[in-house]
Structure 1
Amino acid sequence: MATFKHISSKNADYGAAEQYLTFEHDEFTMKPTLDGNGRLLPRDDYRISSLNCGDEDFAIACMRSNLKYGKNQKREDVKSHHYIISFDPRDAPDNGLTVDRAQALGEEFCKTHFPGHQALVCTHPDGHNHSGNIHVHIVINSLRIAEVPLLPYMERPADTREGCKHRCTDAAMEYFKAEVMEMCHRESLYQIDLLNGSKNRITEREYWAKRKGQAALDKENASQAATGEPPKQTKFETDKEKLRRTIRAALSSAVSFEDFSGKLLQQGVTVKESRGRLSYLTPDRTKPITARKLGDDFDRAAVLEALTINAQNAARAAETPLPKQEYPRSIKDRLQRNKAVINAPKQDGVQRMVDIAAKKAEGKGRGYEKWATLHNLKQMAATVSVYEESGFSSPEELKAVLAAASTELHETTGKLKAVESTLREKKDLQKQLLAYIKTKPARDGLRAQKTEKARRAYREQHESDFIIAESAARYFKAQGITKLPSSKTLQAEIEQLTKAKNALYNEYREKKENVRELQTVKSNLDKILRREPERGKGRENER
């Protein structure tokens, strides 16, 4: 599941960014790690490349451009933007993600979304917490050194002009996250929905506060263990983590907002509502913490929904319960056990049995025969276990369930292809629309010309703009579009379609895995049923 982060920097030393990417740094102090002779230690493994820097070093190229355009000369100016794409640790073993492949994806992402900017793209094979996640750093000079096309996340004409600066707005971050999700889907990598909020929103500051606090606590516990004292606490919690735990405890038993507020007040926490938003004030603070900074589970809508469910459960519990009817376990129960979104197919489960006779005919030896015999025994036991666990009464019932699952998979595939087709059409329309919008100054200028001679001269002078505008107009006519949509509306539709496509893709992968497992069980069961008479015949001959 790839994640996407952004950090803006006001540091005028562009070389510090490259030094961080290529040399070891302490994860807490962010200072360079030195060897015994006081020299910098290079990182063990990384890939790095620069874009739009010519033959110069990244830092020199950036400073030269800043002087040329007179930008980034003040202390408060944002000098660079640092974007980080972190891939799931499972992508390397499961999906074949390598450092070189991640570097190529990062360079492509940078060229597509940050054209005209001097940039560094660097890929590291592991995170600072040694989780094994490959991640790509993209550092760009905030100054743009060339005019670029109008991209979907850009909102002003200055966002495309040479000599102007890059702006990372909320709309831009939403767009970048959607593009990262699209990239993961295209490359068959693990993914999560980055466009929706997080139940627990952990900021960069809180993450590092927890890491440093845990390190200090471990050090203190180690010193106490040396003297024989038992540790009082082993897990460090930030103030926000404690507040989340307190809110969840109150929310688990409250049946109304007044009840919820009263339970929090008993713990010293005051909940406030302003303009439809909740905030929480702890005794040690003068400024409340907003629900947005804690996570989606703590905003007004989520709290009221949880309280409503608690009230309904309390009402049901007050009623006389009916005797619960027990149903036998069936394949439908097993297949529908987990309805939550699954990001990737399972890697374990029943495997197909090997046709030993056919493999021996191909020239396999006794070593392979011994392994295949043991493998078939294991898969035979696993097949029987799944068959009984699923509640099948006959092979015909298994065949019927497999046919139904295959039909559902085919329907989901059709829906996914339809959404993908619509998404492609919307993106093509967006591309033509953005190109057409960019030619508006040229088209307005043509209307301002008074004479035919002036119009011809003006048209020749801006010939490229009119070629683009006419091409876009032909596209709109071919598609039967008489009224152009707004770029914001179109971008919102693309984001919704991206969400729908990701949800359908996850459903497709889940159903595909279910069909594969059922096919494997059916194939193994057919082999078992065919072999049983042969075994009986062999025993009779032995007698």
Structure 2
Amino acid sequence: MAVTRLITHHISKGETVAQSLKDRFDYGQNPDKTQGGELISSYECDHQTADAEFLLSKAKYRAVTGREQKREADVLCYQIRQSFAPGEITPEEANRVGYETAMRWTKGKHAFFVATHTDKKHIHNHIYYNPITLDYTRKFRDFWRSARALRRLSDRVCLENHLSVIRHPKLHSQGRFLHYGQWIGDKPPSAQQRVRLAIIAALEKKPADFAAFLRLMEESGFAVKRGRGGVVSFLAPGQDKYTRLRASTLGVGFDPEDIRAVIAGERPLPELPKDAPPPPRQVGLIIDIQKRMAEGKGPAYERWAKVYNLKQMAAALQFLQENNLTDYDALAAKTTAAVDRAHALAGELQTTEAALSKVSGLMGAVVDYAKARPVFDGYKAARYSKKYLAEHKAELATYRAARAAMNELLGGEKLPKMDALKKQRQELADKKKALYAEYRQAQRDMRQAVAVKANIDHLLGLTDGRDDKEQTR
């Protein structure tokens, strides 16, 4: 699980550009935090001289482009903080994931270095990248919702590397996503509460006996210790002290005899204390897929083992999580809805285009009719003279064509005034423009939903011998 934050660094008050840049880089490269500098990697720069290289690139940018920026508005560098859940990743893996994130975020067009810090319980990366491109012709500009884009990219990289992601990132009052230190600011569950939750989760799997229950506890990451007199204790991951399995410690219903009674079906599951958080939601389709990808079980995993396929499945997982699709039926329903919406908009768009074409054609016919009408009146006044006809053959043909078009388009209805036709045409044109935007988005949503469902069907082995109606449509 990685939490990201994008930070823009400007010149500190009372300092020079060089001092401000060096202070920030010195903090990131602190040997006490990076295992003596072993956890630092860089791209197109030397991290030890990055401050000088970044400053030099600014001078080259001014020389190449001739652009000058005010001192207080100038961006020294951008920093990405990427924090991981405690115990989920090694420092070396974190640095590699940070490097991959930075490379894909900058698209290889900006120099950067990644410093991985291990001084806190959660391993985190400090990624510094140069706002000036490597060819000194452009600058990185912080864009609207860049934090969201960075978070989605980081989540994608995490999924590809079998790391968990936060399903529902928290926001503070200004609407920005919290960084990891703030995100875990809510008091985490105690070791006792984690034991209670694990016990309930293990009992929900209906173990055959007490020994099977203990094995489930071990599989969920808890160390199990048997003491004198048959006392059982559990050590929660990341904790130093064992928690005894007894009612006096965990509460009513968490005694060994209570557990055995639940296994035998003689009593219901124990209840959590009222002030404790509720047990985790049932594992749905998303977690099942992640487990298969991580464990590598079954032929489906082997077919998706290549890098490209792994990235496609990571994208599918991200789609499911962002749309809160926790079971297959919900995914199928969303796919059907996306397909139906795209086709409904296509039909509405065709109807609108036909109406717009009719109004435009009618307006053109009215204009031609008005221009040619005096010629026809002259032809009529000349008693349909052959000489007059020969002299005005083209105008009279236009008149007849315009009159025929008007009769066909009106269908016996009264001819509207030109101002009304203009207004109607403008309304239809605006509607067409809006529908095109909706239709393009609906098409993208449909393609994405159909692709994700096809990937999931392939992974679950549901495509053999079946026609995908959505793809056919």
Pairwise TM-score range, normalised by the shorter structure: 0.3 to 0.5
The TM-score normalised by the length of structure 2 is 0.39
Larger Rg over CA atoms: 2
